[in-house]
Structures are given as structure tokens and as C-alpha cells.
Amino acid sequence: MKRKMSLIGVIGILLFLSGCSSALDTVDQLYPMHDLVYDASGNTSTVFRAYQSSIKEATNAITEEEEPMKVSNKDSRTVLVYDKYLVQVYQDIENPDDALVEVSDEKFVRQNYTSDYFSTYNIADAAEEAFDMDLDDREGTDTYYSGYIGSNGYVKNTGRVPTVRFGSSVENSVRSGGPGAGK
């Protein structure tokens, strides 16, 4: 009898844990990773490719697995707010047969998105709750990221990350030399 009860307990725990996934886990199970976007602090936003999918198809696949706190559709993108994750779905600008799904975690969102972004997509209240942030305090900050697909194409970083010319851990540490230079 004890053995049967232990088995039931283990199965119950496994079922409970299988229901505890994140938006990142959900998207990672559905689509292959395509790219990463970096910020100055080393945080990343992960971009996935939904082959042969429209924005609506990719969004439906994600929301069927995990229901978001808030959904917004505007400017040829869908924005989903989950607890601790922001998910954006866009049509790929270079391959319109595919959708791109970007998943940003709480740290990336808090450090890189403006209050204007959240207002534009009418998700400010959900964002304040999901990311434990006061958007009124973000007015005038130097953050300005709005997603992997920007007005000039793909955005590989938030605009404040080290480039080839700058050091990798300190924003103002300039490296000298070039190809073939060094030890």
C-alpha cells in the first residue's frame, strides 16, 4: 500500500511540474532558435523561426500551449505578455513565408524597453505586473529597444552593447588593433 501511495505521489509531482513551463520553454519546444539579441549587461532576447507560418498561426500555436496575461496586435506584430516574459511575433522581412518569435525575459525587458513601447501596444498595466516595474519611473531613460525587427531591418543588439571596437564587459573600454594585431 505504501509503495502504491508513493507511486501516486511521484506521478502527481511529475504532472504538476510538467504544467510549470515558461513562455521560453513553450516557444523553444515549438520552433528552432534563429538568433540572439544582446544588451550591454549581457542579457539576451532569443529569436526563434516559425517556418512556413503566419503571425496568426505562430501566435495561435504559442497561446494554445500557454495562455498569456495580455495580447496586443498592432503594426504587423503580435505582442504577448507572460509572467516574466515578453513574446513578440513578426513576419520575417527577408522570408515572408516565415514568422519570427522573440522571447525576452524579465531582465532584458526591464533594461531595454521604454514605457512608450508598452503604451503603444496598450500593454502597460500587464507589463508593470509581469515585470514588476513602474513605467512612470522609466520616462526619459536611455532604453529604446522595440524588438528584433526594427524600422531599418534586423536589430542585433539594443544599441548599447559592445561592438568589435569596444570591450566585451566594460562599455567604455576601447580595444585597439585589428585583424592580425595582438600577441
DSSP string, 80-108: EEETTEEEEEEE-SS-TTSEEEEEEEHHH
- Give residue-wise pLDDT tens across range 160-181: 543 333 333 333 333 444 455 4
Does residue 72 surpass a pLDDT of 90? yes
112 close to 158: Cβ distance less than 8 angstroms: yes
CA distance 55 to 70: 16
Instruction: Using alpha carbons, list the distances in angstroms from residue 32 to 46, 106, 177.
Output: 10, 21, 37
Q: Supply the pLDDT for residue 153.
A: 80
Q: Supply the pLDDT for residue 152.
A: 77
- Give residue-wise pLDDT tens across range 100-141: 999 999 999 988 888 888 888 999 889 888 988 877 665 555
Joined grid coordinates for residue 164: 568589435
Topology adopted by domain 21-137: TATA-Binding Protein (3.30.310)
Contact residues for 152 (Cβ-Cβ < 8 A; gap 6+): none
Q: Supply the pLDDT for residue 5.
A: 44
Q: Supply the pLDDT for residue 70.
A: 94
Q: Supply the pLDDT for residue 11.
A: 43
State the average pLDDT for the chain. Answer: 77
Instruction: Name the pLDDT band for 42 (thresholds 50, 70, 90).
Output: confident
**Which of 5-14, 28-37, 73-82 is least confident?**
5-14
Q: Supply the pLDDT for residue 10.
A: 42
